[in-house]
Structure 1
Amino acid sequence: MRPDIDDVLTDLHVVELPLRRRFRGIERRETALLRGPHGWSEFSPFVEYDDRESSRWLRAAIEFGWEEAPAPIRGRIPVNATVPAVPADDVAEVLDTFPGARTAKVKVAERGSELADDLARVAAVRQALGGAGRIRVDANGAWNVDEAEHAIRQLERFDIEYVEQPCATLDELAELRGRIRRIGIDIAADEGLRKADDPDSVDLSDAADIVIVKAAPLGGIGPALRHAARLGLPVVVSSALETSVGLAMGAQLAAALPDLRFDCGLGTAALLAADVTDRPLLPFDGGIDVRRVEPDPALLERWAASPERTAWWRARIERTHALLAAIPTTEDQSPE
């Protein structure tokens, strides 16, 4: 049974955490922490997301805090380094915060940047990782098909593992995939699944070789596992710039997947300049452990958001909770 709104809000803590570097256009990350009978959970849709999209994030937060997590298959998750759209000279410093990572995901096509900047950044990552390292790039759907094809042909010389969401739509991804097939660089879909109005109706068979799966945007661990099984593609579990509490949800998802052949994007606590726990899920030796995270009361107080922002998040949770109660979704249904 879904908890009522009073239960959800009983232990609400809204925090505002600084980032080490500007990422995804922000310098501070706001998020709401909730506590259920199975432990702490996190509700952290980005502030520009509407209530309909955010309601899936609340469904995930409730699942993780109020339901039993699936039995883990593995106790440790290999993770990639995440390189924001930084100047090439800053790449080595960023990679140092992901000790032992053998794979790097590099942000490209950021607004205001040029392809030359992206190529210089990727070249710096390749130099730092050496020939044995793996590089994947993420364009967040910013290119059209022609731009994506041109960029990928330029990136080919750096031995790219895959390109994540190079174009916005599935039709564009399918066209691009046909154009670059001979190059041998795979396409991974992220927003094409998680931002769809109805993720259960998404068919990636023509559009992607790999699917990026994120627990919170897809409604929780259970729905994410069902999407992975339904789509039948290799899976990369990734994060959404959560605190270590939210990253623990992603780690539990990765731990439950039958097949995990790619390093996951779950090391992003390294992008935060502060966290809510004195035992953050920071990467070490190329991975993170699978475990629950308990916030530290002093850190919750230290990074508490203003009363005005806390009230904003409380109202957001109330609205999205009402949506969950009024409009049942397939994410709430049990698998057959």
Structure 2
Amino acid sequence: MLDVSVDTVELPLRTPLRTAWGTLRTRSILVLTIVGSDGVVGRGEAAPLEPYDGVPFPAVAAALEQYAEILRRSRGRSGAGLVDACRDAVDLPQALAAVDMALWDRAGRREGRPVAALLTDRAAASVPVNATIGADDPDAAARAAAAAVEAGFDTVKVKVGVGDDLARLQAIRAAIGDRLALRLDANGAWSVDEAVARIEELATVGLELVEEPVHGVPQLREVRERVPVRIAMDETAALPGAVGAGAADAICLKVSRGGGIGALTVQAALIRAVGGEPYLASTYDGPLGIAAAVHVAAALGVETPCGLATLDAFDLPMPAALLPVDGRIAVPPGPGLGVDGPLG
């Protein structure tokens, strides 16, 4: 018999984040806690973001309540069997991710090993991450870029498709020099022709890659064929068959959107099978979501900097183990996901 509870947590951002899909000021997440008859606890996180992924928070909360009843009635089922039972009731990846995460966390705590060590015996000790700059003003963006250099990051990611992108990127490049890679994230703000024109213009500052310049597999493939910059798929990865379509040089995976840790390892294998490069990011997830992504990235041996250095954007204390040091986040050494406390 499992004891199950679901709690809502509000995480205010220090500074509003402006993107092509809107402005984010507060992040709402759901934390699922599972306690077995053995007393071992497992926690998982559901982090829908409707303006970004189109999934309403109330729908995920309702799904988790249904899952909670299924989990409470479970007897003798494996972790995979429990996830399948929940999926049969409501197939909602953002909610399933919380169940999957909590079960992996509990399994690791029960065995006294980190989740990454459950996934592979060759997990990396840490994961490279990028800094993210959301400032609208070129001067503010330059100051943030200089801070990223000082903090030891190798890659800076900038939201584009809002405001004067070229002026901000020129200011950022002036601040970081040639030492750091510059990555753009358009969140599908452009049409194909707009994307080609904008990327050709912005490429003058030197770009590592552009995430989701357009939405859709055919659209991404066309942009990729027409520009001299690597293209990454992000939001489009949620479409059926998109991950294995070979339409992008790299694909950004997310634990919440993918349905959990187990599902992400399968997706990463498919991406590599068709010649793509997987890396992970968050949609400003909480500590449990970030920890889960770090464990997966370490187990997969991901070398592309991941978008997981986002916890310091919140105006609340966060687990020090999940904050970047010299552009990397170490795998939490504790059992399970390695995250404790009220937010984890």
Query: TM-score, normalized by length of structure 1?
Result: 0.76
Q: What residue identity is the alignment partner of 1:274?
A: L
- The amino acid that maps onto 2:186 is A
CA offset at residue 202 of structure 1? 4.4
Summarize deviations over 1:110-133 as a string: whole Å, max 9, x none.
Answer: 3xx3xxx11122122212221021
Q: Is the 8 A contact 2:281 2:306 kept in 1?
A: yes
Matched, 1:187 2:227: no
Q: Distance in 2 between matches of 1:261 and 1:278?
A: 23
In 1, Cα distance between the equivalents of 2:203 and 2:32?
Answer: 44
Give the 3 Å change call, closer, same or farther, for CA 279–104 of structure 1 in structure 2: same
Distance (Å, rounded) in 1 between the aligned partners of 2:128 and 2:183: 15
- CA deviation vs aligned residue, 1:167-216 (integer Å, no higher than 9, x gap): 01111111111211xx2x110001111x22x3x564331x2111111112
Aligned to 1:296: 341
Aligned to 1:43, which of 46, 55, 61? 46
The answer to whether structure 1 residue 175 and structure 2 residue 173 are counterparts is: no
1:248 counterpart = 2:295: no
Matching residue's letter, 1:133: L
Inter-partner Cα distance in structure 2 for 1:280 and 1:13: 23
Structure 2 residues not aligned, in runs of 5+: 35-39, 61-89, 108-114
Amino acid at match of 1:28: T
Quickly say closer, same or farther: Cα 1:75–1:211, change in 2 above 3 A: same
Q: Amino acid of the residue matched to residue 156 of structure 1?
A: A
Q: State how 1:275-314 maps to structure 2 within 5 Å.
A: 275=317, 277-279=318-320, 281-291=322-332, 292-297=337-342
Aligned equivalents of 1:160, 1:295: Cα separation in 2: 38
- Do structure 1's residue 123 and structure 2's residue 166 form an aligned pair? no
> Which residue in 2 is equivalent to 1:56?
93
8 Å Cα contact 2:291-2:339 kept in structure 1:
no
Match of 2:191 among 144, 155, 162: 144
Instruction: Decide which of 273, 283, 287 is 2:315's aligned counterpart.
Output: 273
Partner amino acid, structure 2, of 1:100: G
The Cα shift of 1:294 comes to 3.5
Equivalent pairs, count: 279
**Hey, what's the Cα distance between the residues in 2 that align with 1:191 and 1:86?**
22
Amino acid at match of 1:270: D
2:322 and 2:200 mapped to 1: Cα distance? Answer: 36
Q: Please give the alpha-carbon distance, in whole angstroms, between the structure 1 residues aligned to 2:205 and 2:165.
A: 12
Could you tell me which residue of structure 1 aligns to residue 251 of structure 2? 211
Does the C-alpha gap of structure 1 residues 246 and 26 become closer, same or farther in structure 2, counting only changes over 3 Å? same
Deviation of 1:35 after TM superposition, in Å, equals: 2.1
* Distance of 1:38 and 1:122 partners within structure 2: 45
For residues 51-82 of structure 1, give each alpha carbon's deviation from its aligned partner in whole angstroms, at most 9, with x where no partner exists: 48982022111111113432361121111001
Q: Could you give the per-residue CA deviations for residues 273-325 of structure 1, whole angstroms, max 9, x where no partner exists?
A: 214x453622121111212354434x79xxxxxxxxxxxxxxxxxxxxxxxxx
The aligned counterpart of 2:63 is none
Q: Would the aligned equivalents of 1:139 and 1:164 in 2 still touch at CA under 8 Å?
A: yes
Q: Secondary structure at the match of 1:216?
A: helix
Q: Does 1:22 align with 2:16?
A: yes
CA contact (8 A) 1:244 1:280 kept: no
Q: Counterpart in 2 of 1:100?
A: 152
From the superposition, tell whether residues 278 and 221 of structure 1 become closer, same or farther in structure 2 (CA, over 3 Å). Answer: closer
Q: Any gaps of 5 or more consecutive residues in structure 1?
A: 301-336
Q: In 2, are the aligned partners of 1:40 and 1:293 still within 8 Å (CA)? A: no
> What does residue 238 of structure 1 align with?
281
Equivalent-residue separation in structure 2 for 1:157 and 1:278 (angstroms):
38
1:282 and 1:288 in contact (8 A); partners too: yes
Q: Quick one: which amino acid aligns to residue 13 of structure 1? A: D
The match for 1:78 is: 128
Contact 1:33 1:40 in 2 (8 A): yes
Task: Label 1:202 to 1:281 Cα distance change in 2 as closer, same or farther (>3 A).
Answer: closer
**Structure 1 residue 92: Cα displacement:** 3.9
Checking the alignment, whether the CA contact within 8 Å between 1:38 and 1:64 is kept in structure 2 is no
Q: Equivalent of 1:109, from 161, 165, 181?
A: 161
Deviations along 1:239-296, one digit per CA (max 9) or x if unpaired, are 1101222100110110110x42211111011221214x45362212111121235443
Distance of 2:279 and 2:329 partners within structure 1: 15
Counterpart position of 1:228: 268
1:273 is matched by which residue type in structure 2?
Answer: D
Whether the 8 Å contact between 1:279 and 1:293 is mirrored in structure 2 is: no
1:38 is displaced (CA, Å) by: 5.3
Alpha-carbon RMSD across the aligned residues, in angstroms, is 2.4
Structure 1 residue 218: Cα displacement: 0.3
Q: Give the distance between the partners of 1:280 and 1:73, measured in 2 at CA.
A: 17
Provide TM-score, normalisation by structure 2: 0.74
CA contact (8 A) 1:20 1:271 kept: yes
